[in-house]
Homo-oligomer: A and B are copies of this chain.
Amino acid sequence: MREEIRRVIERLKMLRTNLREHDFLLSWEQSEADLRAVVLAAEAFEVMFRANIDARPYRGGLAVSIFRDQSTRTRFSFASAASLLGLTLMDLDETKTQVAHGETVRETANMISFLTEAIGIRDDMYVGEGHENMAEVSRAVAQGFEEGVLPQKPAILNLQCDRDHPTQSMADLMHLRKTFGSLDALKGKKIAMTWAYSPSYGKPLSVPQGIVGLMTRFGMNVTLAHPPGYDLMPDIAHIARRQASESGGSFEIVDSMADAFEGADVVYPKSWAPYEVMQRRTEYLRAGQTDKLGALEKECLAMNAEHTDWECTEDLMAATLDGEALYMHCLPADISGVSCERGEVAASVFERYRAATYREAEHKPYVMAAMILLNRFEHPDRVLFKLLSRNQPRHHVD
């Protein structure tokens, strides 16, 4: 165990990253070294936790969470990351506060940051806003730090915005790495990120965008599949295409689940709402037009209902590579006959990969801890090495 951790730290040390005091908001704005560093630091935390090594670099200080949408999984992941690092979690509950801009954002960002090392934000309800809001908080604390108001500049973590969901996609990347042995082994592997039918509507675009925006970095052959009209944000396809060509992979968009699954090493069938719909939804939500929201929901559910055959069935799985593609999902999945009548995935397929999807999710707390470590410390490898050398058990061995 200790030898394994040491090797991971050694590799981390070699990387020239740009993460120090830099906020990781969109994976496609980070260098490949940055992405590899997050994976390595996350792995170091994960192995240390399982090896009963206390890996807390902090003795006090705050980790602040701001959730502008319901969340259980991500909430617990962030709380776990805070506990792993030795930080005190503090949630900023805005439920009764108006969405605020300008002076108020700058002021609040500073007021909650006097002793704060990290601020995690989920803001995915309104397309065109979430990322901008995070960037605004990021600028606000940077200014507060420069002006001497804040003794440190807290790391801002994107816990899901309208564009990307990097703690999810990085956890997914760790899952792929574990499954295939290394990041380099992902080269040439085919991953099918496909839309799937769901009886609900309004699911964010950030997961599929996060997947095609990240997996095209590692030479994978990424196929995005969706029925006509279920487009992602327009610039994402451009980014994915450019990245694929740079990494020696490929990126294509098809309108057939079967085509996407054909020979795939990995499949990620998951519902989302079309970009165009999310734009109208954002407009109506802002204007408080509940009647229009109701009509939009009806329209979308009817549109979805035309594609109930977009389901990850045993037949489709049989067409993947050796019939044994890795099934992935960010959870919760709409499982046919279990959580709904017809959904994203057949019950037998899901059950075969159920434990695997749980393990996929397990990486999230460590990814978040890694992002904070790499942002806040100049030599994260030295910090990890010190924690390893200190060799303090996380719980008493009896």
**Interface set of A (CB-CB < 8 Å, partner B):** 49-50, 54, 56-62, 64, 70, 72-73, 76-77, 79-80, 82-84, 86-90, 92, 96, 102-104, 107-108, 110-112, 114-115, 117, 144, 147-149, 151, 331-332, 335, 338-339, 355, 358-359, 361-362, 365, 376-380, 382-383, 386-387, 392-396, 398
CA distance A383 to B112 in the complex (A): 28
Assess the B76–A60 pair: CB atoms within 8 A.
no
Assess the A72–B92 pair: CB atoms within 8 A.
yes
Closest B residue by C-beta to A59 = B54
In the complex, chain B residues whose CB is within 8 Å of the CB of A103: 335, 338-339
In the complex, chain B residues whose CB is within 8 Å of the CB of A110: 358
Picked from B59, B338, B376, the residue with its CB within 8 Å of the CB of A102 is: B338
CA distance A256 to B86 in the complex (A): 52
Closest B residue by C-beta to A149 = B358
* Further 13 A-B residue pairs, CB within 8 A, beyond A72-B112, A79-B88, A379-B398: A58-B395, A60-B86, A61-B395, A62-B80, A72-B92, A72-B111, A83-B87, A107-B332, A114-B361, A117-B395, A377-B398, A382-B398, A387-B396
Closest 5 CB pairs of A and B: A379-B398, A83-B88, A54-B59, A147-B355, A149-B358
In the complex, chain B residues whose CB is within 8 Å of the CB of A386: 396, 398
Assess the B61–A394 pair: CB atoms within 8 A.
yes
Shortest CB–CB separation between residue A104 and chain B, in angstroms? 7
Assess the A395–B59 pair: CB atoms within 8 A.
yes
Shortest CB–CB separation between residue A352 and chain B, in angstroms? 12
In the complex, chain B residues whose CB is within 8 Å of the CB of A339: 102-104
Assess the B83–A61 pair: CB atoms within 8 A.
yes
Closest B residue by C-beta to A338 = B103
Picked from B50, B115, B387, B396, the residue with its CB within 8 Å of the CB of A83 is: B115
